[in-house]
């Protein structure tokens, strides 16, 4: 009869427990899409480059990531790697539009569906998102507190 090493059994048990923990903690990626910009080519750009060269990207379609913050008078994209304030003019206003209704991929659940968002305006508040839309340098957002805006938003992933 084969003799098993108790220390080896403990190591194997711990390994499987860690694997199960990691797998159970994975969150599902959510993608909300609209067909309003079908056929457009999006230039992927870093948040810092976009803010530093916003005029260059005016009227261009971009894909950018950042931390999205939303409240009663706020719909902003902020640099995810730094604590940046609107006062420094380093945030981008996110101007969602009814012309570009966003739906969770494979469903008819809308991005602004209060019932499916636990009573929140959006499910993306205070999360890092990837967003696609058109840059508008003239749109400075609420109280003109933003550097510019991303409009005609047709994709949000978090």
Evaluate if residue 10 carries a pLDDT over 70: no
pTM equals 0.78
Residues 102-136: pLDDT tens digits? 999 999 999 988 777 777 778 898 999 999 999 99
Going 128 to 77 to 101 to 114, the CA torsion angle's sign is: positive
**Complete domains list, the chain, with CATH:** 31-157 (2.40.50)
Give, for 93, the enclosing helix (H) or strand (E). strand 92-95
With 0-12 / 13-18 / 19 or more C-beta atoms within 10 angstroms meaning exposed / middle / buried, residue 141 is: buried
Residue 156, both tokens: 């949000």
Which range, 26-30, 57-61, 85-89, 140-144, is most confident? 57-61
Cα separation, 58 vs 122, in Å, equals 26
């Amino acid at each position: 009869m084969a003799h098993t090493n108790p220390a080896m059994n403990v190591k194997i048990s711990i390994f499987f427990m860690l694997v199960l923990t990691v797998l159970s903690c994975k969150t599902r990626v959510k993608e909300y899409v609209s067909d309003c910009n079908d056929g457009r080519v999006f230039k992927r750009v870093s948040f810092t480059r976009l803010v530093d060269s916003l005029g260059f990207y005016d009227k261009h379609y971009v894909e950018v990531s950042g931390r999205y913050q939303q409240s009663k008078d706020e719909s902003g994209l902020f640099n995810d790697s730094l604590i940046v304030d609107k006062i420094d003019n380093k945030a981008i206003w996110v101007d969602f539009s009814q012309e570009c209704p966003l739906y969770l991929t494979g469903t008819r659940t809308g991005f602004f569906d209060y019932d499916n968002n636990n009573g929140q305006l959006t499910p993306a508040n205070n999360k890092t998102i990837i967003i696609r839309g058109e840059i508008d340098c003239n749109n400075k957002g609420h109280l003109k507190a933003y550097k510019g805006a991303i409009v005609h938003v047709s994709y949000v992933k978090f």
